[in-house]
Amino acid sequence: MSVAYARQAEWGIPQLYLLPAAKLNPFLEELKEYYTVIGPVARGKEFVFAPVAKPEELALSYQTTLLPPKKVLHLPFEVLFSFHEDQQIVETAPEQRPQVIFGIHPCDVRAILILDKAYTAEYPDPYYIAKRRHTLLVALNCAEPGENCFCQSLGTGPDLKEGYDLLLTDLGHGYLIEVGSPWGRELVQTMDLAPAPRVAMVEKQKVLENARRKFHKKLNTQGLPELLEENFRHPIWEELMHDCLACGSCTMVCPTCFCYNVVDKIDLNLKSGKRQREWDSCMLLEYAQVALGHNFRKDRDARVKQRIYHKLVYYEPQFSTLGCVGCGRCIKTCVKKIDITDVISRLRGE
């Protein structure tokens, strides 16, 4: 069983606390004493998850970030170990200081729960697990969905029911805190917080109701596997083949994509080096190329299809969930504005 699921199973009804807006910064300062706090901070006109040096940097009113917070659990570039000609191998020591991902949205939490399955089930990934064990998730319910968000259609937002250590909801005057794990309870106990009044739950529902009305995009999931299986030869794929730039951006920013490539970096003495991994993508031509040069997905439409079918059809039998959490990053990042929700509604003839 995955780490997150094991934690969740021990816990039932959440406990509620209230964090007044003025206490947020002291709370963060307190957290920083014991944890590396990673949260959304501004970069130009966008936001990224980065270590928060000062509480004021934290931009909790963000809609989405360039890369998903997956990047702190499965690094874009990661040295796995170093090696030497005499067969000596030195593993990279995992970071011992625990970290908190602060202000992570429900869709991204759900994506991490999917990654937990991919990286801890059949072939446990020690590098991922080492980081995941030391990572707390302080989630933040979504109050303002972005123009590309469609998590509501997939049940992965704007609210969150599992997978968090603490869950915040911005009520305007302060944050409602729901406790989701013993670790989370320890966190709130260090702070002198008042239990939330019952009315806070009503306010939370109002915030979420308000958020639900603001979605522009939706993806109808009814009979999705059948729909896609029946439309494998739909003309839309050829259209996408001409449109798609095959740049790979959509998969790079996806919070559930878990593929990586492994490269050896040799030192100039030609006797030692490092083994590294970095994110890879099925949208790239070389991804499905095998020895002697044969390529299983040479055509662009085959790769576009692979991406969409993997997320919406093939994940289900493997992980009992869809592979898309509706974060909208793939839509946002696409220069050609290729939109997975639009593809599905066109396949439905809408």
Question: Nearest distance from residue 235's CB to another protein, in Å?
Answer: 17
Question: Nearest distance from residue 244's CB to another protein, in Å?
Answer: 7
Output the DSSP codes for 136-152. EEEEE--SS--TT--HH
147 binds another protein (CB under 8 A): no
Residue among 243 and 316 whose Cβ is closer to another protein? 243
Residues 6+ apart with CB under 8 A from 270: none
| CA dist., res. 18 & res. 36, Å (int) | 23
- Count helices and strands (H / E) in the chain: 14, 12
Q: Of 34, 51, 56, 77, which one interacts with another protein (CB under 8 A)? A: 77
Q: Is the CB of residue 230 less than 8 Å from the CB of residue 224?
A: no
Beta strand pairing call for 36-43 and 16-20: unpaired
Question: Nearest distance from residue 234's CB to another protein, in Å?
Answer: 19
User: Which range in 22-30, 55-63, 122-130, 237-245 contacts another protein by CB under 8 A?
Assistant: 237-245
Burial call 275-295: b when 16+ CB within 10 Å, e when fewer: bbbebbbbbbeebeeeeeeee
User: Which range in 155-163, 186-194, 208-216, 328-336 contacts another protein by CB under 8 A?
Assistant: 328-336
- Longest CA–CA span in the chain (Å) reads 68
Q: Of 7, 217, 300, 307, which one interacts with another protein (CB under 8 A)? A: 300
Q: Of 88, 222, 269, 320, which one interacts with another protein (CB under 8 A)? A: 269
The pattern of x and - marking residues 249 through 268 that bind another protein according to CB under 8 A reads x--xx---------x-xx-x
**3-state DSSP assignment of residue 23:** helix
Question: Nearest distance from residue 287's CB to another protein, in Å?
Answer: 9
Q: Of 22, 202, 270, 292, which one interacts with another protein (CB under 8 A)? A: 270
> By rule CB under 8 A, what count of residues binds another protein?
38
| CA dist., res. 68 & res. 267, Å (int) | 32
The pattern of x and - marking residues 11 through 50 that bind another protein according to CB under 8 A reads --------------------------------xxxx-x--
Question: Nearest distance from residue 249's CB to another protein, in Å?
Answer: 5
Residue among 41 and 166 whose Cβ is closer to another protein? 41
| CA dist., res. 296 & res. 134, Å (int) | 39
Amino acid type, 278: E
Q: How crowded is residue 186: how many other Cβ atoms within 10 Å of its Cβ?
A: 13
**CA angle at 97 for the pair 35 and 169, rounded to the nearest 5°:** 30
Q: Of 2, 63, 156, 333, which one interacts with another protein (CB under 8 A)? A: 333
Question: Nearest distance from residue 247's CB to another protein, in Å?
Answer: 4
Q: Of 9, 89, 90, 246, which one interacts with another protein (CB under 8 A)? A: 246
Q: CA nearest 94: which of 84, 79, 105?
A: 79
Q: Of 27, 215, 260, 279, which one interacts with another protein (CB under 8 A)? A: 279
Q: Is the CB of residue 308 less than 8 Å from the CB of residue 343?
A: yes
Q: Is the CB of residue 293 less than 8 Å from the CB of residue 302?
A: no
242 binds another protein (CB under 8 A): yes
296 binds another protein (CB under 8 A): no
Residue among 173 and 298 whose Cβ is closer to another protein? 298
* Residue that has been written with the tokens 């998903």 in this structure: 68
Reported as half-sphere exposure (CB side, CA atoms, 13 A), residue 72 has a value of 27
Q: Of 35, 62, 69, 71, which one interacts with another protein (CB under 8 A)? A: 71
Q: Is the CB of residue 308 less than 8 Å from the CB of residue 228?
A: yes
120 binds another protein (CB under 8 A): no
Residues in contact with another protein by CB under 8 A are 43-46, 48, 66-67, 71, 76-77, 242-249, 252-253, 263, 265-266, 268-270, 278-279, 281, 284-286, 300, 332-336
